[in-house]
Amino acid sequence: MARTRSTKPSTAAPAADADSSRSKSAITLVPHSGEPPKVFILPSKATPEARIVTLPNPRNSQPSRYLACPDTGIYEFKRIAAPKSEPRSWLIEASTDSDQAKTGDNASASSQVTMGSELFVATALDPLFLVLPALADAKASKGSEKPKRLFLSSDDHLDKLPQESSHLSEILRWDTTRRLIESRMSAVCDTVDAGDESMFRLNEDKLLEVIYQKAKRMSKSGLPPSMEDKFVNKVLEAPLMHRVVRTESQVTSNPNSGTSTPQADSATSQSTVSSTETDASSVSQTSTAATSVAGEQADETIASALQASPETVELQKLKTAFEFICASYIPSGLADTLKQSFTGTGGPVDFSPLNDYLASLEKLRSETMAVRAQDYSRKRNMDEEEDEARMEKKRKMEEEKKKKASESRGVRELKKVNTSGMKKLSHFFQKK
Amino acid sequence: MLEARLEQASILKKVVDAIKDLVQDCNFDCNDSGIALQAMDNSHVALVSMMLKAEGFSPYRCDRNIALGVNLTSLTKVLRAAQGDDILTIKAEDAPDVMNLLFESSGEDRISEYDLKLMDIDQEHLGIPETEYAATITMPSNEFRRICTDLAAMSESVGIEASKDGVKFSCNGDIGNGSVTLRSHTSIDKPENNVDIELTEPVSLTFSLKYLVNFCKAAALSNQVKICLSSEVPLLVEYNLSGSSYLRFYLAPKIGDDE
């Protein structure tokens, strides 16, 4: 169970300052001078010795805040906030027993509202990411050329991290933390023992494996819905128009699949359909097999390829998770090479089904767009012209009708009279 | 403002009935001498001229000259609501949007009132000079109508030939030809059947029968019709209304390649 604290790090040294300034302001109601209180959720397993420290962010090397606990490791802070369009705020009431004991009679007065609605949640962070920039440092600086990496002691590696406003050296004084960091380093490094000290050198294959395992775990336990929606479903989504085509072709090719059962079965097993697939997708799979075996026209195979198989979806999830980890915790230079080797041919996973699917999808999309654009422009042009013509006709009809209503039958019939040889009356009579 | 009370609504009904098949829209020009109308058909070969003198109304009041532009088809619809012996009162403001028609049945136990929307009609007025016609024929209006309708069945045009022997209406059509000749005739018992021909010189002209048949719709207005002819000038067909009020039709003759 997490504890909620209404102050900045209550156990850290600056916390006392924050406390006193808060209680003072509560009494005198002077304008708040310092930063407004922030709401944190800290892990309950973190010991009281845990400190909020500043360490370089592994992605961009900027100083960032982390929670370091000598016993349980390092935590990063995730900021959770309502969108700007929905302003929220916190009502913080310091009425817990411990707070009362500390602030005494001011307890009720110290309740306050903060403007910001942020909630900071400390989540466990693999210390590996923190030291990764140091391990990959040579690579990042030398660029594309394969660098010669040296076996270095952990201290030598850690010295490469940006030193300014970093508390790294302080937390390394905790034995447990140092051991933790070194153990994580050894997971991605080749090590040699030199006397009583271990020397480390980054091994990219090991690193790739570690990241891959993380990504696998992440995709297995399910991506957050918003992420899944945006990076998995949307990417794999086929144009709607062709779905209709697909269902039609499915129906027509079903008898085929029935007659050519053996081929269909073998094809299905080849494509390693996962057991969780729905009835509908299995039908589409068999129809794929049937049509491909029968060698029917191309559009039908493309159409049936539109349904992303569960395998493809899994691959896309894995890729998304991997890219998320790379984008969040790994220096950009290293992340690029990792991504390349991950999705490349020598990677731990075969992405070819996903790539094939995406390629056909891309082709389909461009085709659909072209067809649609054509359709649209042609239809629109025609519509406009037709509309105009129709409106014109309608207007004329209405005018005609009105005119007809206002003239008598006799007048209409007189119009048909042959007046040849008859001069106009204005020829005989002068105009007034 | 205008206020004109006509003892017999049928007069206006018949006038409008007679001209509504010739013209579509026209102005009723009202001034202190009465209500006048001049309009041409769409082809501008025929002209209708009407004058309802102030004496024909009782009372008649017109403060300033106003033009009541009406669509004759619409006016017909309103006038259809009037009985022939109803008393009709026409009223209008000085700058009118509508023309008010009030029908009182002679028993005075029923009053119906209609407002007819007016329209702006741009019409050219022709000055019609007083003409000495070479031939003036006065005859029963029903007789003229009969001749016109009979001949119209055979041909599109009629030749009218006035000589000292009489007046000959002749036509030549696809199915054959025909003619009607009338001589001067005076009946003391029935003066409405008189045929009177005044001739200064012989005239022979050709006219479109369709138009003449149209003119004959005014036969209900008067027992007698006066037909005036002169070479090279339009034919005049005149129906006399009560007093010196009249309804006149002019029709351009057919010249050149007739028959």
pLDDT digits (tens, 9 = 90+) for A222-244: 888 888 888 888 878 776 654 44
Give me the residue label for tokens 């037909």: B227
Inside any domain, residue B206 = yes
H-helix or E-strand containing B37?
strand B34-40
Judged on CB neighbours under 10 Å (0-12, 13-18, 19+), A277 is: middle
Mean pLDDT of A383-394: 84
Mark which of B84, B117, B150 sits at the end of a domain.
Answer: B117
Mean pLDDT of A383-393: 84
d(CA B74, CA A5): 89
* Partner residues linked to A187 by β-bridges: none
Query: Do B150 and B142 form a contact (C-beta atoms < 8 A)?
Result: no
Q: Which residues of chain B does A427 touch, with a Cβ-Cβ cutoff of 8 Å?
A: 252
B246 and B154 in a common domain: yes
Inside any domain, residue B99 = yes
Q: Which ipTM value was assigned to this complex? A: 0.81
Rounded to a whole number of angstroms, the distance from the CA of A428 to the nearest CA of chain B is: 7
Which residue has better confidence, B152 or A145?
B152
Mean pLDDT of A406-422: 83
Q: State the pLDDT confidence band at B214, using cuts at 50, 70 and 90.
A: very high
CB contact, 8 Å: A165 with chain B?
Answer: no
pLDDT at A236: 80
pLDDT at B213: 94
Interchain proximity B47–A417, CB inside 8 Å: no
CATH number at residue B34: 3.10.150.10
Q: Given a cut of 90, is residue A291 above it in pLDDT?
A: no
CB contact, 8 Å: A404 with chain B?
Answer: no
Q: Which residues of chain A does B42 touch, with a Cβ-Cβ cutoff of 8 Å?
A: 411, 414-415
* Partner residues linked to A194 by β-bridges: A197
Query: In which region does residue A381 sit, left (phi positive, over 0), alpha (psi from -120 to 50) or beta (all else)?
Result: alpha
**pLDDT tens-digit map of A184-195:** 888 888 888 877
pLDDT at A32: 55
Q: Given a cut of 80, is residue A245 above it in pLDDT?
A: no
Inside any domain, residue B122 = no
B141 and B183 in a common domain: yes
Interchain proximity A432–B20, CB inside 8 Å: no
Which residue, among A82, A80, A78, A81, has the nearest Cα to A67 in the 3D structure? Answer: A78
pLDDT at B236: 95
pLDDT at B4: 93
- For A6-80, strand residue ranges (E) read 39-42, 51-56, 63-69, 73-80
CATH number at residue B209: 3.70.10.10
Give me the residue label for tokens 């589409």: A284
Substitution target from A402, A417, A420, A427 for chain B, most B beta carbons within 10 A: A417
* Partner residues linked to B101 by β-bridges: B90, B114
Q: Which residues of chain B does A413 touch, with a Cβ-Cβ cutoff of 8 Å?
A: 21, 210
Mark which of B117, B152, B176 sits at the end of a domain.
Answer: B117
pLDDT at A147: 56
Q: What angle do CA B99, B105, B106 make, to 5 degrees?
A: 125
Q: State the pLDDT confidence band at B212, using cuts at 50, 70 and 90.
A: very high
Q: State the pLDDT confidence band at A326, using cuts at 50, 70 and 90.
A: confident
Q: State the pLDDT confidence band at A42, using cuts at 50, 70 and 90.
A: confident
B109 and B170 in a common domain: no
Rounded to a whole number of angstroms, the distance from the CA of B147 to the nearest CA of chain A is: 19
Interchain proximity B71–A429, CB inside 8 Å: no
Q: Among A412-416, B144-148, B203-207, whose mean pLDDT is lowest? A: A412-416
Q: Given a cut of 60, is residue B137 above it in pLDDT?
A: yes
Which residue, among A383, A361, A240, has the nearest Cα to A306 in the 3D structure? Answer: A361
Q: How many residues does chain A have?
A: 432
B110 and B8 in a common domain: yes
Mean of all residue pLDDT scores within chain A: 70
Inside any domain, residue B27 = yes
Interchain proximity A424–B74, CB inside 8 Å: no
Which residue has better confidence, A362 or B212?
B212
pLDDT at A9: 43
The strand pair at B111-117 and B98-104 is best described as antiparallel
Q: Given a cut of 50, is residue A143 above it in pLDDT?
A: no
Rounded to a whole number of angstroms, the distance from the CA of B196 to the nearest CA of chain A is: 27
Q: Given a cut of 70, is residue A179 above it in pLDDT?
A: yes
pLDDT at B203: 93
Q: Given a cut of 90, is residue A268 above it in pLDDT?
A: no
Neighbours of A275 (CB within 10 A): 5
B110 and B153 in a common domain: no
pLDDT at A212: 87
Mark which of B88, B117, B146 sits at the end of a domain.
Answer: B117
B152 and B102 in a common domain: no
Question: How many percent of chain A have pLDDT more than 70?
Answer: 66
Give the residue ranges of DSSP H helices in A221-309: 225-227, 234-236, 240-259, 261-270, 279-294, 298-304
Mean pLDDT of B223-240: 93
Q: State the pLDDT confidence band at A152, using cuts at 50, 70 and 90.
A: confident
- Domain residues for the domain of B247 are 135-251
Cβ neighbours for A275, distance < 8 A, ≥ 6 positions apart: none
Substitution target from A411, A416, A432 for chain B, most B beta carbons within 10 A: A411
Query: Do A117 and A89 form a contact (C-beta atoms < 8 A)?
Result: yes
Question: What b/e string do you get for B189-211 counting C-beta neighbours within 10 Å, with b at 16 or more?
Answer: eeeeebbebebeeebebbbbbbb
B90 and B44 in a common domain: yes
Q: How many residues does chain B have?
A: 259
Neighbours of A21 (CB within 10 A): 15
B98 and B142 in a common domain: no
B145 and B104 in a common domain: no
CB contact, 8 Å: B23 with chain A?
Answer: yes
**pLDDT tens-digit map of B53-91:** 999 898 999 988 999 999 999 999 999 988 888 899 999
Query: Do B6 and B14 form a contact (C-beta atoms < 8 A)?
Result: no
Inside any domain, residue B124 = no
Q: Given a cut of 80, is residue A362 above it in pLDDT?
A: yes
B159 and B79 in a common domain: no
Which residue, among A110, A104, A132, A121, has the nearest Cα to A44 in the 3D structure? Answer: A121
Q: Which residues of chain A does B41 touch, with a Cβ-Cβ cutoff of 8 Å?
A: 411, 414
Query: Do B60 and B104 form a contact (C-beta atoms < 8 A)?
Result: no
B107 and B142 in a common domain: no
Q: Given a cut of 80, is residue B206 above it in pLDDT?
A: yes
Q: Given a cut of 80, is residue A280 above it in pLDDT?
A: no
B147 and B49 in a common domain: no
pLDDT at A11: 41
Substitution target from B22, B29, B42 for chain A, most A beta carbons within 10 A: B42
**How many domains does the structure of chain B reveal?**
2
Query: Out of A406, A417, A426, whose CB is closest to B211?
Result: A417
Inside any domain, residue B30 = yes
H-helix or E-strand containing B28?
strand B25-31
Give the residue ranges of DSSP H helices in B80-208: 141-152
Interchain proximity A411–B43, CB inside 8 Å: no
Interchain proximity A431–B126, CB inside 8 Å: yes
Mean pLDDT of A170-190: 82
Inside any domain, residue B257 = no
Which residue has better confidence, B186 or A403?
B186
Inside any domain, residue B258 = no
